[in-house]
Amino acid sequence: MRSLGILALALVAVVGPALGQQSPYVEYQGRPIKALPAELVVAYLAGDGMGFALAAELNGYPGPRHVLELADSLALDATQHAEVAAIFDRIRAHAQVLGAAIVAQEQALDSLFAERTITAERLESLLAEIATIQGQLRAVHLAAHLTVLDMLSKLQIQEYQRLRGYAAQRHEHNHRGQS
């Protein structure tokens, strides 16, 4: 009985495409960059975090955007607010440059395939460039969390965790205030 099920699955895999089953990617054909949805292009160009700093955020390292959003609840003093805002502005500008570079490289990759001029060497080179820039972009976002941590007191970090809805966690870090 089991071998009949396996045979049926194999037949579907072989016969299904011959029967004209549509690819789930058909709707992507109209995208300017086939591998990037418009929302992701917008996020790259805006310098958004896109989850690049989750390793920091979910391990008790507050992010500058969210610290600024919660500034009143965290009782940031004027110096803290100015320092976090400067970090946010700096990383956002850097992230926008890197995001634009990723979008440009993805556009180049898409164009080379569309024009049928891609070579194995160019493919390898472009993918390495994209991966390097993505790594740099992630580093920018993660480094911001490291810097912000040192600007907040222990109580502010605990309140940040509470306000963001994270489970109570005990993180021992060297940061400002120690209170």
pLDDT digits 0-9 by tens, 60-80: 999 999 999 999 999 999 999
| Residues of the chain scoring pLDDT < 70 | 1-20, 167-179
Q: What Cα–Cα distance (Å) separates residue 105 from each residue in 14, 33, 65, 125? A: 36, 10, 27, 10
Q: Contact at 8 Å (CB) between 143 and 98?
A: no
Position 13 scores a pLDDT of 53
Q: Which of 77, 82, 74 has its CA nearest to residue 154? A: 74
Global pTM exceeds 0.75: yes
Q: Are 130 and 151 in contact (CB under 8 A)?
A: no
Contact 33, 114 (CB under 8 A): no
- Give pLDDT, residue 179: 43
Residue 178, pLDDT score: 47
